[in-house]
Structure 1
Amino acid sequence: MFSIGDFARLGLVSVRMLRHYDAIGLLRPAHVDPVTGYRSYQAAQLSRLNRIVAIKDLGFTLEQVRAILDEKVSAEELHGMVRLRRAQLEAQISADLARLRGVEARLRTIEREGHMRTAEVVLKSVSPIRVAELSARAASYEGEDIGPVIQPLFAQICGRVEAASVRIIGPGLAYYQEESDGSVMVHACLPVSVPPGPYDFDVVDLPGIETAATIIHHGSMEQVGPTFQALAHWIEENGFRSRALAREISLHCPENPDEWVTELQIEVTPA
């Protein structure tokens, strides 16, 4: 048998923690001296201690740990719980990093106030275009909602168009439609010249835009805020109002997002 100090060291926990587990009935000592009150533990009890610590570190309360242990969870089941928790933590980390990048981008936008790129805005007409298209719904127009939707859509439409042996005749583009509930329909498109047919994607004719205020954005779309705001300032200063969400034309889309080149197009009319 081992003293509480030795057992704590072997189990890589604190004596205070073992006393707490004893107090709540989660891990009782194998023996308690009736005179001194000294606690003693057996090596076999390390198995339960390992399970307690592993399940607790997955984010469960001690009461939940007790319930799980009472169900005699196997090592295989614990591995399954770890895999699930890892996926949850990775998703949370990804969301937190995206939120941090959004804050940093917003700060850069604030820093550039008063130095907007309004001189780079070009007013032009946009011709109608036929596209192969896949669509999905995003919770909102915020970057953290759009990104996880648009990126898989483009990967899917590229794969499906290639599998159908349909020739792409121009740069990919995205456009968005606001829904009455505040969500946004996201459309990932590739220009094609084929008639509508039995494809596993839609073939859609996008109407032309008589008057579009356009600007070129360089870099990741996570950093598009200042470019959008320069476009907004130009639209207001030149007596126009916007009529729809922007189209985004992917003029250059290498593997490194910092090297992307995207044209933003917003339909405008005189105010």
Structure 2
Amino acid sequence: MDLGFTLQQVQALIDEKVDPGELRARLELRRAGHQPGAQPAVSAAHRAVGEHAAFPITGDVPADPGFQVVDLPAIERAATLLHHGPMSEAFRTGQLIAKWIDDSDYRTVGTGYAREIYLDCPMHDLSKWITEMQVAVAPAT
């Protein structure tokens, strides 16, 4: 069965220790016609809640596309930061965002988990990934 990944990409996934939820999301995106490095791909949620992967769709959606089509709600105000590098290190960027939220007298809104917007995702080099992380916030007072 061809999953649409080269041996180099599979090795990168193994080296990166991609968890099963993220791997399933990548497979679903690949089956839906999304190509690695296409701009932008979005992942919203956190593994404790469940992982969702998404990308913009233009044109008509087939009756049974094999995936769910949803509109992500707008975020009125967000703490954001660009993460450079593999997603296995994204927790460091998340910690920086959390510190800024605490230090700046804000609080998280909703789940408090970051939306991840994949701006550049070369599968051959995960160290070159650029991901914008967004956490919905409101003033604490």
Please indicate, yes or no, whether the TM-score normalized by the shorter chain is above 0.5: yes
**2:29–2:53 contact (8 Å) kept in structure 1:** yes
Contact 1:248 1:264 in 2 (8 A): yes
1:186 matches 2:51: yes
User: How many residues are treated as equivalent by the alignment?
Assistant: 119
State the percentage of identical aligned residues.
34
Following the alignment from structure 1 to structure 2, what is the Cα–Cα distance between the partners of residues 247 and 211?
13
Distance 1:161 1:205 in 2: 19
Pick from 157, 164, 168 the counterpart of residue 29 of structure 2.
157
1:269 paired with 2:138, answer: yes
- Does the 8 Å contact 1:252/1:260 carry over to 2? yes
Q: C-alpha distance in 1, partners of 2:33/2:68? A: 10
Secondary structure, aligned partner of 2:66: coil
- Mapped partners of 1:207, 1:161: distance in 2: 24
The Cα shift of 1:203 comes to 1.2
What is the distance in 1 between the residues matched to 2:53 and 2:22? 7
Q: Name the SS of the counterpart of 1:161 in structure 2.
A: coil
CA contact (8 A) 2:120 2:131 kept: yes
Counting only pairs closer than 5 Å after superposition, residues 105-254 of structure 1 correspond to structure 2 as 147-161=19-33, 170-176=39-45, 183-198=48-63, 199-243=65-109, 244=111, 245-254=113-122
Q: Give the alignment's TM-score, normalised by structure 1.
A: 0.40
Deviation at 1:184, TM superposition (A): 1.8
Cα pair 2:39 2:118 within 8 Å, conserved: no
* 2:46–2:114 CA contact under 8 A, matched in 1: no
Q: Encode CA deviations 1:175-206: one digit per residue, 9 max, x unaligned.
A: 1168xxxx422101011123554121111111
Cα-to-partner distance string for 1:62-98 (whole Å, 9 max, x where unaligned) = xxxxxxxxxxxxxxxxxxxxxxxxxxxxxxxx7xx95
3-state SS of 2:92 partner? helix
**Pair 1:259–1:177, CA change in 2 (3 A):** closer
Runs (4 or more) in structure 1 with deviation over 4 Å come to none
Compare relative contact order (CA 8 Å, sep 6+) and give the higher one, 1 or 2.
2
Q: 1:195 to 1:177 in 2, by over 3 A?
A: farther
TM-score, normalization by structure 2: 0.73
Q: By percentage of residues, which structure has more helix?
A: 1
**C-alpha displacement of 1:236:** 0.9
Could you say what the CA RMSD is over the residues aligned between the two structures, in angstroms?
A: 2.4
